[in-house]
Amino acid sequence: MERTVLHSDLNNFFASVECFLNPSLRGHPVAVAGNPELRHGIVLAKNYEAKKYGIQTGEALWQARQKCPDIIFVPPHYDKYIEYSEAVRSIYNEYTDQVEPYGLDECWLDVTGSSRLFGDGCTIADEIRGRIKKELGVTVSVGVSFNKVFAKLGSDMKKPDATTLINKASFREKVWPLPASDLLYVGPSSAKKLALFGIHTIGDLARADRRLISSLLGKNGIMLQGFANGDDTSPVALYSDEAPVKSVSCGNTASRDIRTLDEVKIMLLSLATKVSERLRSYGFFCRTVQLQVRSYDLDSYMRRSKLPHPCRTSEEIYKTALELFIKNHRDNIPVRSMSIGATDLISATGEQLSFEPELCRIQRRENLESAFDALREKYGSSIITRAVLMTDPELCTINLKNTPGILPGRMNTNEK
């Protein structure tokens, strides 16, 4: 039996919620924006009226104001977005228990077993769209297909408030002429490599020589070529399933431009300490440290490095992140924000002791930091800290318990 998979994507979710809650905003160009005074002065989301002026997610507020002098900036209300997201998912769960979130605003639904009750995929999609619009005041675009990849592609093809069907009989006509970058998991870097060899569309990718794709993108390329040909059998998870944790991270936007290496060290040490504590809290070691740096002009880069041994001590995470910074950062370019991620996680269950001197040192450090965790848990996060972090508290102001940092494997945090 052919599967029926839906992908629902709430249109301009953050901005739509703000406009619904504040009717005076409707019909005006609106952008949900960070706080300029706290150095978060970028566009987080925008409505369709703002899009007409070319407003882009991630651009500075002054740039958006230049494009549209009349734009209205509103602060984000994440509690409301979470509330709306949960309300939408409760509607989805009335049609199937196979509801897999992909961020706050997107979900896959497998409605294969629901057709006898509610009709075919397009009928279910239209009914869901109507209910969300009527009951919650926001709109959603839905893709209907025989797999997850094409269902997501369908939800992107018509916006806002539309249903798009991509079936087995016609997917080549609908999908293959689209740019390769439209396909799920084809990022800018992969698209650039493919373009160098004349592979510009999804159809080009589907028909390309398998050996060429493998040489360009490795195993990931073979997977992407399979997707382009409609070969995706990945299941839609049950809503009750807990998403596997893929990374633990922490980032901070500085209250001022960071210009010296000493300031960089303080901020990295602060972030490494928080990532380390989170790893212990969730029972993981990491094998890779990832550093993301954004400069004052919003140019950014990400680098990663393998650790010699799986660990979770702040000392090792900090040392690796600092090495990445020194190796990759251009001289005299002020830094606006940084984040450290711990990836390639493995469970700490069944940890083995070692007599190797370096591992013994790491184990001693681990025991010490675990004792610090216990003190902070009992007496508060400020009860014990490194002296060097107290020399510049402005760079170390993140509250560990209130800052999101656990990223599930199927979580997408990009608001469009």
What is residue 402's predicted lDDT score, i.e. its pLDDT? 35
Rg (Cα) of the chain, in Å, rounded? 23
Confidence band for 299, pLDDT divided at 50, 70 and 90: confident
Phi-psi region for residue 119, left (φ > 0), alpha (ψ -120 to 50) or beta? left
Summarised one tens digit per residue, pLDDT across range 10-23 is 999 999 999 999 99
Question: CA-CA distances (angstroms) from residue 341 to 68, 203, 276, 285, 301?
Answer: 36, 35, 10, 12, 13
What is residue 374's predicted lDDT score, i.e. its pLDDT? 73
Q: Of the residues 18, 100, 106, 366, which is catalytic? A: 106
Summarised one tens digit per residue, pLDDT across range 227-238 is 999 999 999 988
Distance CA(296)–CA(329), nearest Å, equals 13
Distance CA(214)–CA(227), nearest Å, equals 14
Cis check for the bond before 23: say yes or no (omega within 30 of 0): no
Q: 144-148: list long-range contacts, CB under 8 Å, 24+ apart.
A: 144/4, 144/5, 144/6, 145/5, 145/7, 145/171, 146/2, 146/3, 146/4, 146/5, 146/230, 147/3, 147/5, 147/230, 147/232, 147/233, 147/234, 148/5, 148/7, 148/108, 148/184, 148/232, 148/234, 148/236
What is residue 359's predicted lDDT score, i.e. its pLDDT? 61
Residue 391 has pLDDT above 80, yes or no: no
Distance CA(309)–CA(343), nearest Å, equals 13
- 155 contacts 7 by C-beta, under 8 angstroms: yes
- 51 contacts 15 by C-beta, under 8 angstroms: no
Q: What integer is the mean pLDDT of 124-150?
A: 97
Share of the chain above pLDDT 70, in %: 85
Query: What pTM did the predictor assign?
Result: 0.67
- For the chain, domains (ranges, CATH) are 1-169 (3.30.70.270), 176-228 (1.10.150.20), 245-408 (3.30.1490.100)
Distance CA(111)–CA(148), nearest Å, equals 12
Mark whether 106 is an active-site residue: yes
Residue 226 has pLDDT above 90, yes or no: yes
Q: Is 345 exposed, middle or buried (0-12, 13-18, 19+ CB in 10 A)?
A: buried
Summarised one tens digit per residue, pLDDT across range 242-254 is 666 778 888 888 7
**What φ, ψ does residue 66 adopt, rounded to 5°?**
-65, -40
Q: What integer is the mean pLDDT of 2-13?
A: 96
Q: Which two tokens stand for residue 188?
A: 């800018």
Residue that wins the pLDDT comparison between 36 and 320: 320
Q: What integer is the mean pLDDT of 86-109?
A: 94
DSSP state of 179: B
List the strands of the sheet with 106-110, edge to edge. Answer: 99-101, 106-110, 5-10, 140-145, 163-166
Q: 269: number of CA atoms within 13 Å, CB side?
A: 17
Query: Looking at the DSSP assignment, which residues form a beta bridge with residue 73?
Result: 31
Which residues neighbour 70 within 8 Å (Cβ) at sequence distance 6 or greater? 28, 29
Q: Return the C-alpha torsion angle 187, 150, 171, 231, nearest 10.
A: 80
Q: Which two tokens stand for residue 143?
A: 């893709």
**What φ, ψ does residue 126 adopt, rounded to 5°?**
-65, -40
Strands 245-258 and 406-408, sheet pairing: antiparallel
What is residue 244's predicted lDDT score, i.e. its pLDDT? 66
